[in-house]
Amino acid sequence: DTAVSQTPKYLVTQMGNDKSIKCEQNLGHDTMYWYKQDSKKFLKIMFSYNNKELIINETVPNRFSPKSPDKAHLNLHINSLELGDSAVYFCASSQGLRKETQYFGPGTRLLVL
């Protein structure tokens, strides 16, 4: 059984488009995250949601917006895509802020042309 799943796995799109990446976890966790890993493998946290409340929002452009319809889902919407948005986006979840319970999804590789 998949603990944290993301769709799509790969996403190729043109500059200027709007796209969404979906994330679902079936672990019963109450905290979910989005991370971005660039081409140099540098990992950076973007957002963290706990009980549907945003508890961390690093300095990401406001073109990126997380949407959490319920505790099991945290989707990432990206408007007006730019070349620099090309990266692998990882979703993760944990119980509270306990990182020892954190599981990552398989990642979504986004390529903006």
Partner 1 sequence: EDKVVQSPLSLVVHEGDTVTLNCSYEVTNFRSLLWYKQEKKAPTFLFMLTSSGIEKKSGRLSSILDKKELFSILNITATQTGDSAVYLCAVEAQSGGSNYKLTFGKGTLLTVNP
Stretch that binds partner 1, among 10-18, 19-27, 71-79, 102-110 (CB under 8 A): 102-110
Among 16, 17, 44, 67, binds partner 1 (CB under 8 A): 44
CB 17 within 8 A of CB 78: no
Q: Is 5 in the site for partner 1 (CB under 8 A)?
A: no
Which one of 2, 17, 26, 43 is in contact with partner 1 (CB under 8 A)? 43
List % helix, strand, coil for the chain (3-state, nearest 5): 5, 60, 35
Here the tokens at position 102 are 């954190």
Among 40, 62, 70, 84, binds partner 1 (CB under 8 A): 40
Cβ contacts of 100 within 8 Å, gap of 6 or more: none
Exposure string of 52-75, with b = 16+ CB inside 10 Å and e = fewer, is: eeeeeeeebeeebebebeebbbbb
Q: Which is nearer to partner 1, 13 or 102 (CB)?
A: 102
Q: Residue from 15, 97, 111, 113 that binds partner 1 (CB under 8 A)?
A: 97
Chain positions contacting partner 1, by CB under 8 A: 40-45, 50, 55-56, 58, 90, 92, 97, 99-100, 102, 104-107
